[in-house]
Amino acid sequence: MRKNPYDEYEEYDEINVVPLLDLAWNLLLVFMIVVTASVQGISVNLPKASAAVSKVKPTTKAITITAEGTIYLDSFPVTIGELESRLRQHKASDPNFPVVIRGDEKISYKSVIEVLDILQRVEITQLGLVTQRLVK
């Protein structure tokens, strides 16, 4: 007589939630990666530098210079004159706010010097230059 192959297995009356939790965990990770990758701001090719820890605070103002020479304060395009007046306004409300400069690697050095001159006239002393990490 033939033996039924299913007789030796126990029947479970409960649902195994481990695969469901694995799926939820993976979806959460994929969502986090996609969201952080899509929120980049203005795209510039940054020059490379050593891997130093960034000390950028939430009150930091970002000045971005694109490859075309357009200047942005945070994410708003400004002219050189507007940049100086807006920095003076921020300086009046917070005298010690830091500024970071993000310049495309293809821009001329003169563009960065113009921005640095404005920062000196406004007397902003906390500034940094943003670069990419050097990949070894």
SS (H, E, C) the chain: CCCCHHHHCCCCCCCCCHHHHHHHHHHHHHHHHHHHHHCCCCCCCCCEECCCCCCCCCCCEEEEECCCCCEEECCEEECHHHHHHHHHHHHHHCCCCCEEEEECCCCCHHHHHHHHHHHHHHCCCCEEECCEECCC
**pLDDT confidence band for 78 (50 / 70 / 90):** very high
Q: Is 61 within 8 Å of 86 (Cβ atoms)?
A: no
User: CA separation (Å) from 18 to 9, 13, 25, 29, 38?
Assistant: 20, 15, 10, 17, 30
Confidence category of residue 27, pLDDT binned at 50, 70, 90: very high
pLDDT reported for residue 135: 64
Its CATH class, for the domain covering 48-133, is alpha beta
Mean pLDDT, residues 44-62 taken together: 69
* pTM exceeds 0.85, yes or no: no
Place of tokens 């939790």: 21
Residue 67 CA to residue 75 CA, distance in Å, equals 15
